[in-house]
A and B are shown apart, each in its own frame.
Chain A
């Protein structure tokens, strides 16, 4: 299926792919300050492995910044 991840679009992704699968595929560590936006809706870390992605989804990795 096709996903746009951090503005880069590709159809290389398998079906039945969760947010957790995507992060493992990208070799991204799900640190506590990482939240994922799918089609401009946030998903928290506790639902990464239960949230299925769908063809055409736009996924953004958001690292919440603690600095000031």
Chain B
């Protein structure tokens, strides 16, 4: 039950058709796992927290570095060399005390993925490598947990959502799985990361509230340099 302060806090959410008090309560009781707290993860975490998703788990093994700051908008210069999860927890809990943040200072691997992912209502995969995206894809399917996968580099990126047993998954786009070249450092337009993160976060919120129009069997492809937004359908296999 929302108390009077929460009714005031979330007033403009509650006024929305698909929210109402019931929707807001649903968000506050939801458990979302965010894998990666970088260029996509930080804007997502800010919105998930602000909007009032009640239980957020963050997994990231990285520390804040100077070159993160232009796009990883949760961090500031005094956070350099501190673990991202620890900084995120402190700042997000201050942003919205209704939200409980659990952080795991680790990398998602085949050994720990099942244990970490289980029990969440939905997973947001926003890491910087294909290997983790495919791992999340496989484990979420195994656990029957919906997931959103997003990626960005340069001015471009993409977002797709999968509900296991209902829609095709990210992996089905590839006949040969790509791998990430860890030696390759690409530029990232910070605003592209922000836009893509917000679309991915919106997918999470819409799923939790039962709003259809999710990116199921579809991928949104965004190029902010060209102001080009496309929604492309997955292949029939």
Residues of chain A at the chain B interface (Cβ within 8 Å): 7, 31-33, 35, 37, 40-47, 60, 62-68
Q: A37-B230, A37-B232, A42-B235 are in contact. Are A66 and B175 (CB under 8 A)?
A: no
Contact A66 B129 (CB under 8 A): yes
B230, B232, B234, B235 interface centre (most CB from chain A within 10 Å): B232
Partner of B128, one of A31, A62, A66: A66
* Interface status of B231 (Cβ within 8 A of chain A): yes
Contact A62 B150 (CB under 8 A): no
Complex formed: what's the CA distance from A68 to B178 in Å? 15
What are 13 A-B contacts with C-beta separation under 8 Å?
Answer: A31-B178, A32-B179, A40-B230, A40-B231, A44-B235, A45-B175, A62-B219, A65-B153, A65-B154, A67-B152, A67-B157, A68-B36, A68-B40
Contact B178 A64 (CB under 8 A): yes
Partner of B230, one of A32, A35, A60, A65: A60
Contact B153 A67 (CB under 8 A): yes
Min CB gap A28→B, angstroms = 15
Task: Collect the chain B residues with CB atoms within 8 Å of residue A46's CB.
Answer: 175-176
The interface size of chain B toward A, counting residues with CB under 8 Å, comes to 39
Min CB gap B36→A, angstroms = 5
Complex formed: what's the CA distance from A46 to B221 in Å? 21
Partner of B174, one of A37, A44, A67, A68: A44
Q: A62-B158, A67-B39, A68-B36 are in contact. Are A45 and B176 (CB under 8 A)?
A: yes
Task: Collect the chain B residues with CB atoms within 8 Å of residue A37's CB.
Answer: 221, 230, 232
Task: Collect the chain B residues with CB atoms within 8 Å of residue A65's CB.
Answer: 151-154, 156-158
Min CB gap B152→A, angstroms = 5
Q: A35-B174, A68-B40 are in contact. Are A42 and B156 (CB under 8 A)?
A: no
Complex formed: what's the CA distance from A46 to B172 in Å? 12
Q: A32-B174, A33-B178 are in contact. Are A68 and B151 (CB under 8 A)?
A: yes
Task: Collect the chain B residues with CB atoms within 8 Å of residue A67's CB.
Answer: 39, 128, 151-153, 157, 186, 188
Chain B residue at minimum C-beta to C-beta distance from A62: B221
Min CB gap A11→B, angstroms = 23
**Could you list 5 further interchain pairs (A-B, Cβ under 8 angstroms) beyond the known A65-B152, A65-B156?**
A32-B179, A41-B232, A44-B175, A68-B41, A68-B151
